[in-house]
DNA sequence: ATTAAAAACTGATCTAAAGTAGCATTGCTG
DNA sequence: CAGCAATGCTACTTTAGATCAGTTTTTAAT
């Protein structure tokens, strides 16, 4: 899906990783978010009838298409679904906000730590991660575009995290060595993403 | 409204300016968004039952309270309202995303230009701004915390924008001198925020 | 009108991260 | 299995923006 395309569908990702990003005229890229299994994607493009961002698979993916009309129609018969979708959209916004805070007010090291902690929390929620770590198919270039720093600097920061005994990211695997210290470095909110949403209450 | 407070209401702002921000442990602040008349605020806090950010008036304000229960209940009787609220939330997210891109991939000058252009577009939509400019009750300190740069640097950037004949921000007034050049500098999407939402279609 | 305190502004110095350049691995592909 | 592209890694140099230390101007309160 690309910026400017009209009448896109939304999807629920059942397998694989996807990334959402924006491109600037000069070719710079800002990755806004990564989607992992269980995530809803393309909702904004459906509501605005035009995609305001790009979506690209990182790994081979499996996803279910959700037609705009079907989704909106379903709100009439089950208003509870409307609340659930609204909740999912808000959770999404909360993540973008946290990402914004990271880039705006955290140093490269703090923000990298925060990023891996957030991914960890999200992956654990869908059973794809443990306290020890998780599989992560991202390159240092993607990380750079997500964190708003250069790829060269990502490499230096990853080395520092490793040398400090906090976390290792190598060969597609993230290993968390010291969760407590990471939470401290990143100023990570432990309650963040704890809420399972309206359908489970 | 403060981070961690529970069971807050949402509001529709009818007059005045409000700002939403997050605080870090070390006192650093990141302003996520400013709300202007017509904006919906506090929706996330309602859905999550806990505020994940702070909201503070910048000027004296007038707002209508919307109770969480009333809002959710109303979805049953008018599913179209659900779509409208979802659209509003998505528009909000789109703005946060654009803000994220700004901080991640635009220079201080570009990002300041983008900020004032976005405000201009939003204010024009509610009749509080014209092509020439608009009233803006923000201090350089607030601007700094919104743009993710230091207040000292905001001052230098504002001088540069003024000297380049692009825009003046003085004494609570923004005057746009060269809209076209600003759009170019900021890599601003002209179609951004053009959509009036589902209720008007 | 006076004064206190915000807010705006400026120059000098410092630093985190960018940019540049090059080498080392890994994993494809013909 | 040679060769190429992608990715990972490192040292050196540069730069955007931070920080520090003020002065000036504006605004609000008495």
- Residue A181 CA, nucleotide D22 C1', distance (Å): 39
**Protein B152 CA to nucleic acid C13 C1', in Å?**
14
Judge: B103–A101 Cβ closer than 8 Å, yes or no: no
Provide mean pLDDT across the span B105-127.
Answer: 96
A interface mutation test: which of B6, B42, B93 has the most A CBs within 10 A? B93
DSSP type of residue A198? G
| Burial (CB count within 10 angstroms: exposed 0-12, middle 13-18, buried 19+), residue B200 | exposed
**Minimum-distance CB partner of A97 among B53, B82, B89:** B53
Indicate yes or no: CB of B105 within 8 angstroms of CB of A79.
Answer: no
A104/B30 CB distance under 8 A: yes
Six-digit token string for A180: 């407590």
- B152-173 pLDDT, tens digit per residue, is 999 999 999 999 999 999 989 9
Tens of pLDDT, residues A73-98: 999 888 899 999 999 999 999 999 99
Span B41-80, pLDDT tens digits: 999 999 989 999 999 999 999 999 999 889 989 998 888 9
The whole model's pTM is what?
A: 0.94
pLDDT of B201 > 80? The answer is no
Q: In which residue ranges of chain A is pLDDT below 70?
A: 195-201
CA-nearest residue to A42 within chain B is: B90
The pLDDT of residue A193:
77
């Amino acid at each position: 899906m690309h910026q400017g395309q009209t009448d896109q569908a939304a999807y629920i990702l059942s397998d694989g990783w996807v990334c959402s990003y924006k491109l600037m005229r000069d070719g710079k890229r800002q990755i806004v978010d990564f989607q992992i299994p269980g995530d809803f994607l393309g909702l904004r493009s459906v509501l605005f009838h035009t995609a305001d961002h790009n979506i690209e698979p990182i790994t081979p993916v499996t996803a279910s298409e959700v037609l705009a009309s079907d989704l909106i129609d379903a709100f009439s018969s089950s208003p509870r679904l409307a609340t659930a979708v609204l909740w999912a959209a808000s959770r999404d916004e909360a993540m973008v906000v946290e990402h914004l805070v990271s880039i705006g007010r955290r140093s490269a090291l703090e923000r990298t730590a925060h990023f891996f902690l957030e991914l960890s929390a999200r992956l654990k929620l869908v059973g794809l991660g443990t306290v020890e770590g998780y599989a992560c198919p991202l390159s240092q270039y993607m990380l750079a575009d997500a964190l708003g720093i250069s790829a060269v600097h990502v490499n230096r920061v990853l080395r520092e995290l490793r040398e400090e005994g906090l976390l290792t990211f190598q060969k597609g695997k993230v290993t968390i060595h010291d969760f407590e210290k990471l939470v401290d470095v990143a100023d990570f909110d432990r309650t963040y993403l704890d809420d399972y949403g309206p359908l489970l209450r």
